[in-house]
Amino acid sequence: MTTTALGSAVRATVDGTRKAPLIGKETHSTNNSLRDVILGGQDGLVNMLGIALGVVAAGGSTHVLIVTGLAAAITESISMGAVAYTSFGSDRDFYLAEKSRELNEIAAQPDDEREEVREIYAAKGFKGQLLEDVVSTITSNRETWVSTMMNEELHLQPVAQQSLVQSAVVVTVATLIGHFIPIVPFMVVARTPAIIAAIALSTVTLFAVGVYSAKTLVGDWRKSGLQMVAIGLGAAAVGFLIGRLFHTVGG
């Protein structure tokens, strides 16, 4: 197949992209460590603060609180990691299923799929001979063709096995750390000061996470920090109310 100089340049660019590693490109959201830290850390912190306030409100001893908290920290951290793995694993399976479908469509209906590539790049502003060169270059290689359809038509990115494991580990560790923030005060100081310290530490941590999230991604840091605090303390307050209810009924 003869191509123009411009077409050759396009081919070289596509071939270079195919051979080179993906630099600076996330793999279908699974490399977003900040999201994993927030997911695990906030869940662990709010869960533990809710348990602590609930046990206190129900009249439970500090010993019971610590034992219950440690058990919850370990079991939920493992559970959250497993959920993260299976959740993002389903994203990978969906990608593979869609990729298989695209491969079958290219094999069964190559003209229709080639026209879809043409429409995609025409919408981007390519026209004339340049458009034809781009279409010819992309559809001359099956892997490039499928990858283009997955990215440009379905807006899906591959999910690597390593990313699944990394995400699961980050969520597990973040959840465990989040659990320990509210419970540590009960291990070192008396009951009432421990409650105050647990709420204060949790508030500061939640606000800091919200601020960091806004600074790293986008948004107003004050609003993000206060929103994180409101959600976290609001959820923990439910645990306190439930504990108080049981204490009242039991009394």
Please check whether residue 132 lies inside any domain of the structure: yes
- Span 196-214, pLDDT tens digits: 999 999 999 999 988 888 8
Measuring CA to CA, which residue among 185, 174, 192, 178 is closest to residue 48? Answer: 178
Please check whether residue 12 lies inside any domain of the structure: no
For the segment 82-108, the average pLDDT, to the nearest whole number, is 88
For the segment 125-148, the average pLDDT, to the nearest whole number, is 90
Q: Residue 250's pLDDT is what?
A: 62
145 or 216: which leads in pLDDT: 145
Please check whether residue 10 lies inside any domain of the structure: no
- Whether the pLDDT of residue 61 is over 50: the answer is yes
Please check whether residue 143 lies inside any domain of the structure: yes
Please check whether residue 116 lies inside any domain of the structure: yes
Domain range enclosing 183: 33-244
Please check whether residue 60 lies inside any domain of the structure: yes
Q: Residue 10's pLDDT is what?
A: 35
CB-based burial, 12-24: b 16+ in 10 Å, e otherwise: eebeeeeeeeeee
Please check whether residue 26 lies inside any domain of the structure: no
For the segment 12-29, the average pLDDT, to the nearest whole number, is 41
Number of domains within the chain:
1
Mean pLDDT of the chain, nearest integer: 82
* Cβ neighbours for 210, distance < 8 A, ≥ 6 positions apart: 221, 224, 225, 226, 227, 228, 229
DSSP string, 132-176: HHHHHHHHTSHHHHHHHIIIIIS------HHHHHHHHHHHHHHHH
